[in-house]
Amino acid sequence: MVDLAKIAQKGELFDDRYKLLRPLSTAGGTADVWLALDANTVTDRDRLFDPEPLTDEDVEELQGLKVAIKIYRPKNALDIEGEEQFRDEFKIVFNCHHANLIHPTYFSIYNDTPYLVLPFCEDGSAEMLIGSMEDLWKFIGDVSAGLDYLHSCKPPIVHLDIKPANVLIDDNKNYAITDFGISANYGRNKHLYYYDDGNAGTLAYMAPERFLEGVDPTPESDMWSFGATLYEIITGQVPFGENGGEAQLNGDVPMPKLTGVQPDIIRLIYACLDRDPAKRPTARQVMEAARAKQYPVKSKALLYGLIAFFCLLVMGGVGYYFLSQKLAMIETRPPEEVYAEALNRMNSDNVDTLKAGLAQMDSLSGTNYIPAIYEMAFTYGWYSDSISVKRKRMLGIAMDEYYMPTIDRYSNRAVGLFTKIMELNDSAYASINANATYRLACYYVMPNNIYKPNYEKGKQALLRSREWATKARDYDLLDKITRGLETFE
């Protein structure tokens, strides 16, 4: 039996190669994950045998390669058949090459205990995103791309345990799927990995069909888990409690409420969480939705063409003429005109008119029209401006004494919109870009009850804001940014 704590305490090398530094995760059902130094990359190998724990300074001085080692627990010790299966299945995983997959670099079996060596991701996992909608479309696009690759393999590879902890943030700030330890090769003997106990995965993220006997997991099961993952990142809660999709087997359970999020993302999540696997989108469809930032992806030209053709058949030539003129007006109406109309409604003293304008502005923001995106963020975000405060009060949004919404989803929505503006990086809107990035920095730097301080992100946002404010010649904002940057010196 391998005693990892004892090996680390004595200063020994695991499998005569890896210096165990500290556990990264011991919560998994089958394995522990440790941060380690690869002794083969360290010049002064003798220092690795010192029983005294290495400090961060020691690790930096040794300049060795840091890796994450997933070491399976004693109950998963292998017999001869299990060892062969582990080797065969590692070969399958090893041949999976994709930017949104964490690729294992080595495997071995030490004292009957299998382990995998993976790259160490300093920035952690998608658990860091929970409660924040920053980069949500990017997250959706990256993870769905990784799943599409797995599901497109011949035969398809089903991950079986998609959840925030199993999506890491790599050195290029991409989201990459990890932990293939319980993946199934669907369609080739339909076998699970050697240590599977029949309930592989995490219950809260398991699709309903996985609770049925005699039903094999499929790519559609991963899509349900992905929907549960997205729901948790936005709300901080799993959609159906700790028993996951089993709740959907006990009758027509309503979808959990999800508000303060783009309607397209809500539709996407609900589609992934559908009880019927056949009704869930594929990873490829989700990937395409992320590119278009809408779900389902629509073709306006096809839609208008079908409507017009239908009217031509039913209404005759005159009806078709007037309808086609109306459709043409909708298609060609300048966004500036729609924006002005929506803004006028949003500044009304009537709450219903305000909501109508807000819905119109929300639709326009979906086309990536930056002034509309900013106006939405200005409405929901942390502003003491009288117009923003008035709108929030009319909408019933509670605020603290500093006029920050006390309900997380409004601040999350605003931060997501500010981030979207920053990602679009449209030079035509230098002033808006400057104000959006400055406001984003405020969430990370100024004390509040929603976001933990993240001074590095705050500083980067201020630096971006300074670039845009300089282009916009917004000297008042530049003065604020300068004072903000001085606090980092």
**Residue 34's beta-bridge partner residues?**
23, 69
Question: How far is 279 from 267, CA to CA, in rounded Å?
Answer: 12
pLDDT on residue 314: 54
For residue 336, what are the contacts with CB-CB under 8 A and spacing of at least 6?
none
pLDDT above 70: percentage of residues in the chain:
83
Question: How far is 241 from 348, CA to CA, in rounded Å?
Answer: 41
Name which of 280-289, 372-381, 471-480 the model is least confident about.
Answer: 471-480
Over residues 320-324, the mean pLDDT reads: 44
Name which of 105-109, 112-116, 184-188, 450-454 the model is least confident about.
Answer: 184-188
Question: How far is 134 from 423, CA to CA, in rounded Å?
Answer: 11
Q: Where are the alpha helices (DSSP H) in 333-369?
A: 335-346, 351-365
Within 13 Å and on the Cβ side, how many CA atoms surround 1? Answer: 6
Average pLDDT, the chain: 82
Q: What is the pTM of this model?
A: 0.58
Over residues 273-299, the mean pLDDT reads: 92
Question: How far is 388 from 383, CA to CA, in rounded Å?
Answer: 6
Beta strand extents in 39-182 (DSSP E only) = 65-72, 106-110, 113-119, 157-158, 167-169, 175-177
For residue 306, what are the contacts with CB-CB under 8 A and spacing of at least 6?
none
CA distances for 209 relative to 15, 409, 427, angstroms: 40, 31, 49
- Residue 156, classified by CB atoms within 10 Å of its CB into exposed (0-12), middle (13-18) or buried (19+), is middle
Cβ atoms within 10 Å of 73's Cβ, excluding its own: 17
Question: How far is 387 from 107, CA to CA, in rounded Å?
Answer: 60
Statement: residue 446 has pLDDT above 90: no
Backbone angles phi, psi at 259, to 5 degrees: -125, 170
